[in-house]
Amino acid sequence: MATTADGKGRIALVEDEGSIRETVGYALRREGFRVDAYADGAAAWEAWSDGAGRPVPAALPDLAILDILLPRMDGLELCRRLRAASETLPILFLTSRDEEFDRVLGLELGADDYLCKPFSVRELVARVKVLFRRLALLAAAGGGADGEGTLTAGDLALDLDRYQASWGGHPLGLTVTEFLILRALARRPGHVRTREQLIAEGYPHDTYVADRTVDSHIKRLRRKIEAVAPGRSPIDTVYGLGYRYQEGAGEEEG
């Protein structure tokens, strides 16, 4: 399986809207990626499995871009099957459903990131490159110890090369977007970052992101930290302004 973004990666694009398949496929091919496009989830799974519906490892793509609302087999089921077949294959969702439930459900099934429609094609290509880079670094290092590209703030440790985060040594399992927003907050503990600033950090190539999207990411960040450190919340809401990371936070609440 290829794990670099130098033009050797094979991407599966599963999207029922022909215009999006054409536009995204063209942009990715222009960057040197090989793209296999599918109009529905069942067609994609059939291409990756044998006659009995069992996944064929050699047939799996190197990265999958999935719409959620797909004919015959939706993106959530396709994600579930892909993740069961491979724990490391990067999966990115495209969705027109802006409800937090859909995004959270997709991520709980094992997706690595998502973009809401309408989205910037530049942003999507950038996310794809980050996911390939993260996978390549993990494969090269074997998931080893952090190198020089590490940012620490209290119990938080951010591996800036692999886009991975941990709290007190426990992995947090962040998406690319969540990592970028948390990095922006942790770089200047105690300083308030506005929603506009966090959007610029989390979506540097996208102009279609609403302010409330940041709020959803912050909720998930808090939830993921509290899952490994119950009762701890290092991200404060500064009403009317934005959010800040408190480096000295993390004491258990009474």
Q: What is the pLDDT of residues 166-214, one digit of tens each?
A: 999 999 988 888 898 999 999 999 999 999 999 888 887 766 677 777 8
Comparing 34-43, 77-86, 121-130, 224-233, which segment has the lowest mean pLDDT? 224-233
Residues β-bridged to residue 158: 151, 165
Report yes or no on whether pTM surpasses 0.85: no
Helix, strand, coil share of the chain (percent; to 5)? 40, 20, 40
pLDDT reading at 95 higher than 50: yes
Which stretch, 69-73, 93-97, 215-219, has highest mean pLDDT? Answer: 69-73
User: Quick check: 133 and 125 in contact, CB under 8 A?
Assistant: no
Across the range 21-25, mean pLDDT stands at 97
pLDDT reading at 87 higher than 70: yes
**Which of 112 and 91 is assigned the larger pLDDT?**
91
pLDDT reading at 254 higher than 50: no
Token couple for 183: 């990095």
User: Quick check: 236 and 225 in contact, CB under 8 A?
Assistant: no
Mean pLDDT of the chain: 85
Domains in the chain: ranges and CATH: 10-140 (3.40.50.2300), 145-245 (1.10.10.10)
Q: How far apart are the C-alpha atoms of 93 and 76, rounded to whole Å?
A: 9
Q: How far apart are the C-alpha atoms of 152 and 154, rounded to whole Å?
A: 6
- In percent, the amount of the chain with pLDDT more than 70 equals 84
